[in-house]
Amino acid sequence: MSMEKFCEKYLKKLHIGNITTDSNVLMAPLAGYTGYPFRVMCRKLGAGLAFTEMVSANGLKYNDKATAKLLYTDDAEIVKAVQLLGSVPSAFECACKGEYTADYDMVDINMGCPVPNIIKSGEGCALTRDLSRASKIIEACKRSGKVVSVKFRPGMNKDNIVVSEFARMCEDSGADMITVHGRTRDMMYSGEPIYEYIEAAKKAVNIPVIANGGINSEEAAIKMMDRTGADGIMIARYGLENPLIFAQLTGKNTDTTKLSLIMEQCDMAQSCFDEISAMDYIKKITSYFMKKLHGTKALKQEMYKCGSMAELRKILIQIFEERK
């Protein structure tokens, strides 16, 4: 299947509330990774939206500085989208109306995280068991005047599938878009997504429906659109491994190399983070960029020993210069 097929058959703009995106290929929020530099890179490569990593609504309500640091942004992000996690409607309303998210145009509510401690707190995917509370959270976010989307899973397990009614609840509560991860909570992040669940959500609502889960190639993206009838796709971990997938799917110029991308990330990280934070970020991103590159184990070990950005840049050139 060629790049042209996706572009010709599926590529389009999305109308989400008062926001119009350049494409319907989105980058998912990923804890620890989708900081400001990474989001800007994805947008330049063709992503219609790129979300912040998961941010605690409670953390913002109580002015937690570490939480607030996750929201660094500037005018290079044309459309700013934040993802919030929590279970208390009033905390969401406070976070959405507060100074930390003042620059953000869009709020995505995490109702899909399957991690045990999140579930125990009644957050993430646990909210699929409490439609009333989930509805109140969406309504609370909408009172901020921001565009609101919801990312959720079809249910906790195959015996408790609530995808259609949950999708309708989201729309009725004011959500402007939903993203459905095609795996139940007990599937975590493995196994083929169940396309029928996403298709059911699409049939249940009139707002845009984005399909998420297991998209790691152009073929997988086409299959997802074919099988679900979704309005667009959201790429998660594969976007870290190969951000050039956004250029491939949207028809952008793909002459850029991983080396040039990581060097641009270094420049941006140094401009908005202190040196230690910048190095930590670049090392994490590079580890994903290096997946499937042979003969880099020793260089990866050297990378983790680096004590300065200047030293780190030299190692990055060694890692990627012959693998353009």
Do 287 and 196 lie in one domain? The reply is: no
Which amino acids are annotated catalytic?
113
* Of 250, 272, 307, the domain-final residue: 250
Among residues 70, 137, 65, 57, the alpha carbon closest in space to that of 98 is found at 57
Do 245 and 146 lie in one domain? The reply is: yes
Binning pLDDT at 50, 70 and 90, where does residue 19 land?
very high
Binning pLDDT at 50, 70 and 90, where does residue 256 land?
confident
pTM: predicted TM-score of the whole model, two decimal places: 0.95
pLDDT of residue 218: 94
Q: Which long-range contacts (CB under 8 A, 24 or more apart) does 303-310 make?
A: 306/279, 308/275, 308/279, 309/266, 309/270, 309/275, 309/278, 309/279, 309/282
Do 262 and 232 lie in one domain? The reply is: no
The parent domain of residue 109 ranges over 3-250
Binning pLDDT at 50, 70 and 90, where does residue 321 land?
confident
Do 34 and 149 lie in one domain? The reply is: yes
pLDDT of residue 2: 43
* Of 227, 250, 273, the domain-final residue: 250
Residues 208-241 have pLDDT tens digits of 999 999 999 999 999 999 999 999 999 999 999 9
Q: Please check the confidence at residue 167 and state whether its pLDDT lies above 60.
A: yes
Residues 31-77 have pLDDT tens digits of 989 999 999 999 999 999 999 999 999 999 888 888 888 899 999 89
Residues 91-127 have pLDDT tens digits of 999 999 999 999 999 999 999 999 999 999 999 999 9
Q: Please check the confidence at residue 205 and state whether its pLDDT lies above 60.
A: yes
pLDDT of residue 64: 85
Do 113 and 174 lie in one domain? The reply is: yes
Mean pLDDT estimate for the chain: 94
pLDDT of residue 185: 97
Mean pLDDT of 282-304: 89
Tokens describing residue 205:
């609502």
In degrees to the nearest 10, what's the CA dihedral of 69, 274, 285, 28?
20
Tally of CB atoms within 10 A around 241: 16
Do 167 and 145 lie in one domain? The reply is: yes
Residue 155's φ and ψ, nearest 5 degrees, are 160, 180
Do 292 and 239 lie in one domain? The reply is: no
Whether the CB-CB separation of 84 and 123 falls below 8 Å is answered with no
Instruction: Output the furthest CA–CA distance in the chain (Å, rounded).
Output: 55
pLDDT of residue 278: 95
Number of domains in the chain: 2
Mean pLDDT of 7-26: 95
* Of 221, 250, 279, the domain-final residue: 250
Do 235 and 316 lie in one domain? The reply is: no
pLDDT of residue 178: 98
Residues 138-160 have pLDDT tens digits of 999 999 999 999 999 999 999 99
pLDDT of residue 58: 93
Do 273 and 169 lie in one domain? The reply is: no
Do 272 and 132 lie in one domain? The reply is: no
Do 313 and 222 lie in one domain? The reply is: no
pLDDT of residue 1: 40
Do 223 and 314 lie in one domain? The reply is: no
Residue 184, domain CATH? 3.20.20.70
